[in-house]
Amino acid sequence: MTIRLTATQLDHRNRARQFAAEYIAPHAQRIDEAQTTPASVLASVRANGYLGAALPAGWGGGGMDPVSYGLVTEEIGKTCSSVRSLMTVHNMSAQTLAKLGTSDQRERWLPELSTGEKLIAFALTEPNVGSAADAIETEAVPCNGGYRLKGTKRWITYGLAADLFLVFAQCDCKPTAFVVERCADGLTVTPIENVFGTRGSMLAELRFDNVEVPTSHTLGAIGMGMTFVANTALDHGRFSVAWGSTGIIQACLDACVMYAEHRWQGDRKLKDYQLIRRQLTDMLVAHTTARALCYRSACLRAGGDPRAVMETSMAKYYASGAAINAATTAVHLHGANGCSSDYPVSRYLRDATVMGIIEGTDEIHQVSLANYAFQRPYLD
Amino acid sequence: MPVSAAENPAGASSSTLTDRYQATEVRRSIRQFIERAAPQGVRDDDDIFELNVVDSLFAMQLVLFVEDAFSMQVEQHELDIKYFSSIDALTSFVLSKLSVADR
């Protein structure tokens, strides 16, 4: 495995860094405070091709390799976790459609999803169901020529902006995936406000009141909704969240280095206090480690290596935890200023906390990674 | 539960298109991969998911393993747990795809 970036990968990273600085950074604080993503920011993400960045070029997507896509995600995630979460949910759902969809489904939806003309959100979580996803309560009852969906989905990222939803429901007690269009009769989309972190991610609750979905909108086989469809999407989502969390660590480090260089306490700058220097060291090592795990995951994914699934889980688990630690340290290092909205570090801490919950809680990853340990991957 | 020839997605009997050596090697390779996750050992017809020998993420690993080890693409309509649930089922699935590729 090499971590020397190619010219193309460097170009993707540099362009994303410049894009984030010009088009997202000026809005990041406002996105958090207003709890929404302005249409102009959505339009700029779309116009620069980041919504379909990882989708096949044949459908109009960016066709980025995993390392390039990861680097772009880190740069966006460093700047604004809400906008990064838009990229996450759209790409994870659209990539799943690209991999598991029938040729008719791909032709119907992928061109507009690749350009970002249409947005797709991932609708798995319910009011009573989180980690134990097999127990979803939404039902899909067969009716003439399709299914009738009844139930409620909650915490749906960018649900307020999405045109399509990848929805999971029990079909005769077998978890099954469906693509549902927002305009479907009986679907009600309600905003969820005042959340703790990634506050601009336009969360929604979806209510399905006998929403009719044709058979042609079933994604994957009946009963394979969790094993293959949700797991495929979540695998892509974890990859994105791992890089996004690495971006948060980078943002914390950047903020702390700048603060320590300029902030005086007594007769010295903060950077000259040994305990402050230790905090910067720990943050730097955490960022380097998280990024190394992300690179490893990306390289394994690029090569179609079976270890990619669990190594992606490992990258997400480590990076999200390290982001929480780094953001906690960053708030402390800033003192009272860290608790104020005059500095971004409190936003980083709130956003990092969300990273440890989405796409599998820390506890879920601890259980599955322990299973992986028994495969003895460390001997490879 | 082994996959019958009627359930074979490629629609062909493996025994008529592959030799015994290939079948043995495919089975050995699959067993070796599965037993990494289930070192206590599994029988050829054990349903590894129903017995909770492995978790659901292992199904994703199995798909990647098959594609990587046997240089084949698992198509979207083949992503059904019945083809991945046991050493017998997966061996039949892989041999049927190899036999189609050999035609």
Q: Find the CB nearest A224 among B33, B36, B79.
A: B79
**Cα distance between residue A134 and residue A131, in whole Å:** 9
Q: Answer whether residue A1 is part of any domain.
A: no
Whether A33 and A161 map to the same domain: the answer is no
Is A363 among the catalytic positions?
A: no
- Residue B102's pLDDT is 67
**For B8-34, how does the pLDDT look when each residue is reduced to its tens digit (9 = 90+)?**
555 545 455 556 778 899 999 999 999
Catalytic residue among A75, A107, A359, A363: A359
Alpha-carbon distance A189 to nearest alpha carbon in chain B (angstroms): 30
Domain end among A100, A115, A130:
A115
CATH number of the structural domain spanning residue A137: 2.40.110.10
Kindly state whether residues A59 and A129 are assigned to the same domain: no
Q: Has this prediction a pTM greater than 0.80?
A: yes
- pLDDT < 70: residue spans in chain A: 1-2
Maximum pairwise Cα distance, chain B = 38
Q: What is the dihedral of CA B36, B39, B43, B45, to 10 degrees?
A: -40
**Using CA of residue A46, residue A18, residue A53, residue A213, what is the dihedral sign?**
negative
Residue A2 in any domain: the answer is no
**Do A159 and A248 belong together in one domain?**
no
> Measured between CB atoms, which of A220, A307, A367 is closest to B79?
A220
**Distance from B41 to chain A by nearest Cα, in Å?**
13
A197 and A335 both lie in a single domain? no
What's the CA gap between A33 and A347, in Å, rounded?
A: 10
**Residue A281: inside a domain:** yes
Closest residue of chain A to B67, computed from CA coordinates: A304
- Give the pLDDT of residue B2: 43
Structural domain containing residue A296: 227-379
Judge whether B82 and A223 are in contact, CB under 8 Å. Answer: no
What domains are defined for chain B? 18-102 (1.10.1200.10)
Q: Which of A92, A115, A138 is the last residue of a domain?
A: A115
| The pLDDT of residue A175 | 97
Do A375 and B56 count as a contact with CB atoms less than 8 A apart?
A: no
The H or E element containing residue B68 is: helix B57-69
Q: Do both A220 and A361 map to the same domain?
A: no
Q: Tens digits of per-residue pLDDT, B61-103?
A: 999 999 999 999 999 999 999 999 999 999 999 999 998 776 6
ipTM: 0.89
Dihedral angle, C-alpha A9, A11, A17, A21, nearest 10 °: -160
Confidence grade of residue B3 (pLDDT, cut at 50, 70, 90): very low
- Mean pLDDT in residue range B43-52: 93
